[in-house]
Amino acid sequence: MEKQCIKEYMEMYSKIAYGKNLKYATKPEIWGALSTALMSQIVDKWHDTRKAYKAHKAAYYLSAEYLMGRALGNNLINLQAYDEIAELLKELGVNVNEIEEVEEDAALGNGGLGRLAACFMDSSATMHLPVQGYGLRYRNGLFKQYFKDGGQLEEADEWLGYGDPWSIRKDDYTVEVKFQDMTVKAIPYDVPIIGYGGEIINTLRLWQAEPLCEFNFNLFNNQEYDKALEEKNRTEDITRVLYPNDSNDQGKLLRLKQQYFLVSASMQDIVRDFKKHHGNVWGDFAKWHAIQLNDTHPVLAIPELIRILVDEEGEEFDKALDIARTTFAYTNHTILQEALEKWDIRLMEILFPRILQIIKAIDERLQTELGHKGYTMEKMNPCLILKDGKVHMANLAIYVGFALNGVAKLHTEILKETELHHWYTLYPYKFQNKTNGITPRRWLVLANRELAHLITNRLGNESWAMDLTKLKQLTKYIEDEGFLEELMAIKHEKKVQLAHYIEEKEGITIDPDSLFDIQVKRLHEYKRQHLNALYILDLYFRLKENPELDIPKVTFIFGAKAFPGYYRAKSIIRLILAIADLINKDEGVSKKMKVVFVSNYNVSYAQKLVPAADLSKQISTAGKEASGTGNMKLMLNGAPTFGTYDGANVEIVGESGEENNFIFGLRVEDIEKLQNNYNPRAYYEQNPDLKRVLDALVDGTLNDGGTGCFRELYDSLLNGVNWDRADQYYVLADFKAFKEEQEKVFEAYKNKKKWAQMSLMNIANSGVFSSDRTIMQYANEIWGINPVE
């Protein structure tokens, strides 16, 4: 990349956009000028990539979320221009890290599902695969999290404040999306996805909702200002926030409208492109297209494609259904019933009755097919798309789709054997496993440049960044004390960097020489952040009793957002903050341990936390975590896993060895035996330490700010609340095993060489968890697409 050319473009852009010479530009303005200059350098290759792809079958990835993180640093890594641009910025008197920090994380996702989609986009481009992503361009994303008065509060995530130089608005590809009560414009914004090396640039197309008419001039002229803007506001609400609160009908309608907006715009776009290049030969549609549905959010794409083919292209219904059956594939991300979407039929009737008609016709075909197989109505019931007044989206996806995949070996087996066994007996050939992966470019080359340089130095070149299995060669250094010392020196450096950042952002001082025990992920009861919290409280009580307790100094770090309407998840955050306040203010105990809950956990924060972690907490109830990808990021950066035998933890341990990790607690088969006669109160009564920490929730030891939420949390574990049985995620059953395993962690951490070897074995054996491997399996085994040169 020509450095002088970049500099000249930045100078020109600064004058045009900001009306000033570059030397007077602010850091946000330098970020905008640099990003735009880099965009100018890649546009031709982006165009060439699109042109090359047109001669080949392509895959289209539909997802409600893309948790992208910042673009500048990642794109510089993939362009292999990071050091060159850092040098250019130094000449301008600024540090590249300061410019990176200016950029807001794109607020387009929330948890692992969205981050996986982002990793898949990166890997598709890096592996030269013709894959286009489709999503929504949320103006405000989920929310920005902050803590006040001991609890989580939310505010709008206005990530577009400094503009969006990393996307291009494509007005000429605008489509209209029609609801029963309104028609809106879907405006595409194309985001370049730069493959490693910069030769291939794929596209993520994000749709933004805009009104057909900006405002009603006559109403405005009559001074009815609110009414004049009513349609504009209702339209923009569609892409205003990710996952609007759906606790009432208005929220449900908005969320359903959001989903249909995504799929209708995307299907119209795909059909339009097919007609342009292949005419109306609809029998060939599946030869050129594979559409992957990332969970149930985009499943309405199935009836929407059928609607377009039947109503607009004149195809017969059964032929359109056959086209859909050879085009769509579905990824299941969860066994949790509340996450397998079921929409009220009456809501679909309100928004798009024609789509509901098509779904009813599909359900009729399903019943006819099952009838021919000898199914009674009772046996059909689990498979029905329409039942109990609801549309069951997963059933629609499984029936019509030609492939269904889980995202870890254990998850897929649970789907086949229990949760979706009724489907597996019908269509065993549809079921596949695609264990998730992560991109090593963002999660090691960018996030941990020091470790990446060490690996490159020892392996001789950077090719491992595109073939992560080459990290296996590092095992030859397992007894090399010099290498192990270098490895641990880098870990300490990352811990120092994180400690500085936490002090600056959270106002809490932590010791980089302490064990960094990190649990960062979405807040949900099954992920059991509260099990970790109860253990920490127990450790506090023991340190109060015995200040000389023989443990290494430890810092427990949490990061998570709770959905605004998820009361108990917010209670768990309040609990952890209360425990942190109790411990950090205790002059004696705080010398041995500290607790930090970082605010507004996101991709950029994760890029600081993951390389600094000594220990990776992955403690979900066995059988509940489909896969996890945070566990892979932490493994890649050398943190042993402390976890249950769940999700991808099973495969992590299989790769790096149980002796290099810490596995505890009930397994799936244990829970199956226990669940029908589980009595959490027995654990409470028989374990004095457990009783003490649970009682602390209600005896005044901890302050819940007068909310009563700690009592509710206590009852949820011991007595059951409303329709939930007591301790449905087996927190109390696993407490003793958790505590015993944590003691093993403390003992292992005292042996610095052994800990370094455990860290190395995790890094060296993380190659299989590259999203490059995952995406090639999708390409070869589901989509039927090939790399394009």
Token representation of residue 177: 């999306």
- Letter for the amino acid at 60? Y
Active site residue 409: no
Q: Which is nearest to 632 in space by CA: 654, 614, 616?
A: 616
Token representation of residue 680: 């959490």
Q: Are strands 515-520 and 431-433 parallel, antiparallel or unpaired?
A: unpaired
Q: Which is nearest to 612 in space by CA: 710, 490, 459, 752?
A: 490
For residue 770, the cross-strand partners are: 438
411, 430, 434, 521: the catalytic one is 521
> Are 699 and 591 a contacting pair, CB within 8 Å?
no
d(CA 562, CA 112): 14
Q: How far is CA 301 from the centre of its chain?
A: 21
- Letter for the amino acid at 448? N
> Are 522 and 565 a contacting pair, CB within 8 Å?
no
d(CA 411, CA 417): 10
For residue 178, the cross-strand partners are: 183
d(CA 163, CA 724): 46
Q: Are strands 183-194 and 201-211 parallel, antiparallel or unpaired?
A: antiparallel
Q: Are strands 515-520 and 554-559 parallel, antiparallel or unpaired?
A: parallel
633, 641, 644, 773: the catalytic one is 633
629, 641, 644, 774: the catalytic one is 629
495, 522, 594, 608: the catalytic one is 522
Q: Is 436 exposed, middle or buried (0-12, 13-18, 19+ CB in 10 A)?
A: buried
7, 289, 307, 333: the catalytic one is 333
d(CA 102, CA 72): 10
For residue 151, the cross-strand partners are: 148
> Are 155 and 143 a contacting pair, CB within 8 Å?
yes
> Are 698 and 719 a contacting pair, CB within 8 Å?
no
- Whole-angstrom CA distances from 267 to 47, 172, 303, 347 are 22, 16, 10, 22
For residue 482, the tally of other CB atoms under 10 A from its CB is: 8
Active site residue 633: yes
Three-state secondary structure string covering 576-622: HHHHHHHHHCCCCHHHCEEEEEECCCCHHHHHHHHHHCCEEEECCCC
d(CA 419, CA 702): 39
Token representation of residue 24: 């007077």
> Are 458 and 483 a contacting pair, CB within 8 Å?
yes
Q: Which is nearest to 736 in space by CA: 701, 698, 697, 684?
A: 684
Active site residue 205: no
Q: Is 163 exposed, middle or buried (0-12, 13-18, 19+ CB in 10 A)?
A: middle
- Letter for the amino acid at 58? A
Token representation of residue 609: 């936390």
DSSP letter (8 states) at residue 663: E
Give me the half-sphere count of Cα atoms (radius 13 Å) on the Cβ side of residue 463. Answer: 6
Q: Is 457 exposed, middle or buried (0-12, 13-18, 19+ CB in 10 A)?
A: exposed
Q: Across 257-378, where does the E strand assignment appear?
A: 289-294, 328-331, 342-344
For CA atoms 654, 658, 661, 663, the dihedral sign is positive
Active site residue 629: yes
d(CA 705, CA 701): 12
- Whole-angstrom CA distances from 218 to 221, 224, 228, 389 are 5, 9, 8, 42
307, 442, 527, 608: the catalytic one is 527
Active site residue 372: no
Helices 731-750 and 688-695 pack at an angle, to 10 degrees, of: 110
List all residues 6 or more positions away from 162 whose beta carbon is below 8 Å from its beta carbon.
28, 31, 32, 102, 103, 104
Active site residue 115: no
Enumerate the active-site residues: 333, 521-522, 527, 629, 633
